[in-house]
Amino acid sequence: MIALTLAEIAAATSGRLELGATDAAPETVVDGAVTTDSREVGTGDVFVAKRGEFDDGHNFAAAAAEQGAALLIVERPLDLPVPQVVVADSVDALGDLASEVVRRVRALGRLRIVGVTGSNGKTTTKNLLRTVLEQVGPTVAARASFNNEVGAPITMLELTEQTQFLVAEMGASGVGHIARLVRLARPDVGIVLKVGLAHAGEFGGIEQTVRAKSEMVTDLLETDVAVLNADDPRVVPMAALTRARVTWFGMADSADVRAVDVVSHARGTEFTVIVPGGESARVRFSVLGEHHVMNALAAIAASRELGVPLAEIVRGLEQVTLAERWRMQVLGGRDGITIINDAYNASPDSMAAALKTLAQVKAPGTRTVAVLGEMSELGEFSGEEHDRIGLLAVRLGISQLVVVGRGARRLHISAINEGSWDGESAFVETDEEAFELVTGSIRPGDTVLVKSSNAAGLRHLGDRLGEWFS
């Protein structure tokens, strides 16, 4: 975090500064990291005591103090020998502090902010942008999927006076969540990747999902840029909701930044990108999966709007070998066996894309195995979407289907009910059963996809299979 006095932090958070018996004064400067996790606190850091569904951060404030916290942001005074700012709501205070830091760094005149949202691909696109923009200047981007009302402000608080680019991943589980994050750090460039059924159960339907994602662009100014997916019929109408200039990306001929001659293989994906003015370049993209080309196109469009030459953008993209751990992560290798661990998250769109990739990358004469778990948070769409994925696996000719957990059982039933299939589907209750089944039946040269929502936990099964066949 940039250097601020205790008094300035209290003012930014509308809090009351409590110095108690400490030697600190209102003018004491704090410039450490800000965290809500007491285990991450180091000397000089700020600990925000956040109340959660199951834990109360105030219970861990003593540990934070022992580890050298310079300041506690709390909702009630604590009997600890550390300066404290007492606020009405610690999460609101975290956001207010982040907003103040962004404001101050913006005032220096060099900071540009990119906001990224969408039902799928946020983290991948954020990572691609970080790699490209780091070639140009100091860049801050979220760790992992820090994209909610806590994670996004913590990322913003990593800004320094030297930061040139902030890439803010902005997620939501309801209407108003993205708008809140946009207010904290209004993007110069706002990206909407795709609107699908991911979290549709939480949102209350696809219409509400569209409304929530459109919050990325509704408050942009005329001087800003909205980077929109030309191939998504739910994203295209957002152009009418923004004052910003629109740049389109996609496969469609109408897109400003588009990909042609896409080739997928086991080492990644190659494509030619064409940008306004007719300039083009061949991209040898090591991230597995044709669906990640769309994320790359979004990153290219945004980077060009920030003034990065196409050659530098391509050089950055080609440095990326993994979108993120547990996202199309290639493991294994023994006896020609490939494990693709893509079990960090799953929506109907990403599940379908992963299965299509599995079918595309297998070598002639070898088998494909899909180990699939539940797609969570789909609400009323859950049954029919699991049915659809089961049928897709059959129609793609996946050699072996292993369905894990009761939440995904309809996927298994739909697959075995498809009479034209000459493959087989197996249903198991647990990861352990799945591990035993796969390791007992796999053959040299097989390609295995492990895919589920985060809650289903199959990412650890994917890691275990990758280690077993390494």
DSSP characters over 25-85:
-TT-EE-S-EES-GGG--TT-EEE--B-SS-BGGGGHHHHHHTT-SEEEESS--SSSS-EE
Alpha-carbon gap, residue 280 to 387, rounded angstroms: 41
**CATH label, 108-317, candidates 3.40.1190.10, 2.102.10.10, 3.20.20.150, 3.30.70.580:** 3.40.1190.10
DSSP secondary structure of 212-278: HHHHHHHT--TTSEEEEETT-TTTGGGGGG-SSEEEEEESSTT-SEEEEEEEEETTEEEEEEE-TTS
**pLDDT for residue 308:** 97
Q: Which of 369, 330, 375 is nearest to 351 (CA)?
A: 375
DSSP annotation of 421:
-
pLDDT of residue 234: 94
Per residue in 380-425, pLDDT (tens digit) is 888 999 999 999 999 999 999 999 999 999 999 999 887 545 558 8
H or E element at residue 87: none
Annotated binding site for ATP: 118-124
Q: Are 69 and 46 in contact (CB under 8 A)?
A: yes
Question: Pick from 315, 348, 102: which is nearest to 209 by CA?
Answer: 348
Helix (H, G, I), strand (E, B) or coil at 147: coil
Check pLDDT > 70 for residue 133: yes
Q: What length does the chain have?
A: 470
Please say if the pLDDT value at position 195 is more than 70: yes
Q: Evaluate whether 213 touches 118 at the Cβ level (below 8 Å).
A: yes
Which of the residue ranges 7-21, 23-37, 219-233, 369-383 would you say has the lowest mean pLDDT? 369-383
* pLDDT at 135 (0 to 100): 95
Q: Which CATH class is domain 329-468?
A: alpha beta
Q: Tokens in use for 302?
A: 């945004």
Span 205-246, pLDDT tens digits: 778 888 889 999 998 999 999 999 999 999 999 999 999 999
Give the pLDDT band of residue 55 (cuts 50, 70, 90): confident
Looking at residue 200, its pLDDT comes to 55
pLDDT tens-digit series, residues 57-97: 999 999 999 999 999 999 999 999 999 999 999 999 999 99
Interatomic CA distance for residues 443 and 441, integer angstroms: 7
Spacing of C-alpha 458 from chain mean position? 18
279 phi/psi in degrees, rounded to 5: -70, 145
At residue 197, the pLDDT reads 64
Domain ranges in the chain are 4-88, 108-317, 329-468
Residues 156-174: tens digit of each pLDDT: 999 999 999 999 999 877 7
C-alpha dihedral (209, 212, 213, 214), degrees to nearest 10? 120
How far is residue 5's CA from residue 43's CA, in Å, rounded to a whole number? 16
Q: How far apart are CA 151 and CA 469, in angstroms?
A: 35
Q: What is the pLDDT of residues 307-344, one digit of tens each?
A: 999 999 999 999 987 766 767 888 988 999 999 999 88
What pLDDT is stored for residue 202 in this prediction? 60
Decide: helix, strand or coil at residue 363. Answer: coil
Q: If pLDDT is split at 50, 70 and 90, which confidence band does 458 have?
A: very high
Q: Is 32 in contact with 45 (CB distance < 8 Å)? A: yes
Looking at domain 4-88, does it have CATH number 3.20.20.80? no
Residue set of the binding site = 118-124
- Confidence tier at 123 by pLDDT (50, 70, 90): confident
